[in-house]
Amino acid sequence: MDEQKVLVTGGAGFIGYHLCRKLSTITGNLTIYDDLSSGKIENVNDVPSAKFVKGDILDLQTLCGLPKQDLIYHLAAQVVVPYSMENPLIDFETNAKGTVYVLEKARKDDAKVVFASSAAVYGNPSVFPTPETYGFHPFSCYGLSKVVGEEYCQMYRDQYGLDIVITRFANVYGLRCHGVIHDFLDKLAKNPNKLEIIGTGKQSRDFVHVSDVVEALLRVGAGDKFNGEIYNLGVGKSTSILELAQLILTILGLQNRTIVTTTNQSWQGDVTKIWFDISKAQKDLNWVPKVTLEDSINEVIADRKISI
Ligand SMILES: NC(=O)c1ccc[n+]([C@@H]2O[C@H](COP(=O)([O-])OP(=O)(O)OC[C@H]3O[C@@H](n4cnc5c(N)ncnc54)[C@H](O)[C@@H]3O)[C@@H](O)[C@H]2O)c1
């Protein structure tokens, strides 16, 4: 990959940052393209060898004006499910239309594309663990816009001969994200006697560490043997939010002190359970997710210097 020109859309975001950190050690030709709508300039600054272009994926002129690329990781997206339900048009513009713009850039350059899709394309699955073949059953506008993005990827592969790999992420976590682990730890740092869970707490998720996702992204980006494939990237295990809360309390030694409550309300587009079948990624990519939830909780505690 060292001579390749690599573009990461959404490279200033959470997963994009971790991917770019790793890519910057492999290629000297890395470009981050991000409008900083939710991404952070610190993330860009912390990958000093990458070239940064502040731009919107919906700005085709700027996007296509970038130098010719060999490989495009397309991560830029509107990522908030409740927001997609309140603003379906904006979500569609960024995630569906924006993906077509990125594909146009790829078509112009004859670049390979790795597309960041989501568990949301499965909606509320009824088959567990859910394989890639489960099919599209989106349950939110976000899920639908990712389905449209995937379908355009397949179209560009079939009709224009582009090399495209689709990766579907479960619940990715790690340093610099704003997920439920950080939320619980922040709440407990403020008040260790009480933890309120938004929702029923019964929803369960397949939590995968960002470093494991990045490793899989590097593997699918290398070579051309994964052209046309779709990969679930999770850990192949489902943990309920209540179980996660208990795990955090145990690690902090608060299990006999903190009172856990739930708001008992779910939100539009929320799904009950995510549990990926990751056997295809394990076999094809010779990939095994390594980081446990315990490791990651300890990582965040150390990073934030949380002491209770
Ligand atoms: N984090 C997860 O658990 C998860 C799960 C499933 C799928 N994904 C997908 O992974 C990708 C990265 O997600 P993330 O968690 O890092 O989110 P993030 O919000 O941290 O990153 C998204 C990035 O895209 C940028 N962006 C948004 N709209 C843009 C536009 N119009 N033009 C240019 N840049 C734009 C944002 O500024 C941000 O830096 C997304 O495609 C998301 O849908 C993430």
Q: Which is the closest atom of ligand 1 to the Cα of 38?
A: 37
- Rounded Cα distance, 58 and 35, in Å: 10
**Residue 1 pLDDT grade (very low, low, confident, very high; cuts 50, 70, 90):** low
Pick from 36, 2, 40: which is nearest to 18 by CA? 40
Separation of CA 17 and ligand 1 centre (Å): 10
Q: Catalytic pick from 17, 122, 142, 152?
A: 142
β-sheet bridge partners, residue 72: 7, 113
- The model's pLDDT over 262-272, given as tens digits with 9 standing for 90+, comes to 998 887 778 99
The answer on pLDDT for 304 being more than 90 is: no
The structure's pTM equals 0.97
142 in active site: yes
Domains of the chain and any CATH numbers: 6-172+208-233 (3.40.50.720), 174-205+237-274+291-303 (3.90.25.10)
How far is 221 from 253, CA to CA, in rounded Å? 42
Regarding the beta carbon of 174 and ligand 1, being less than 6 Å apart is answered no
Q: What is the pLDDT of residues 12-38, one digit of tens each?
A: 999 999 999 999 999 999 999 999 999
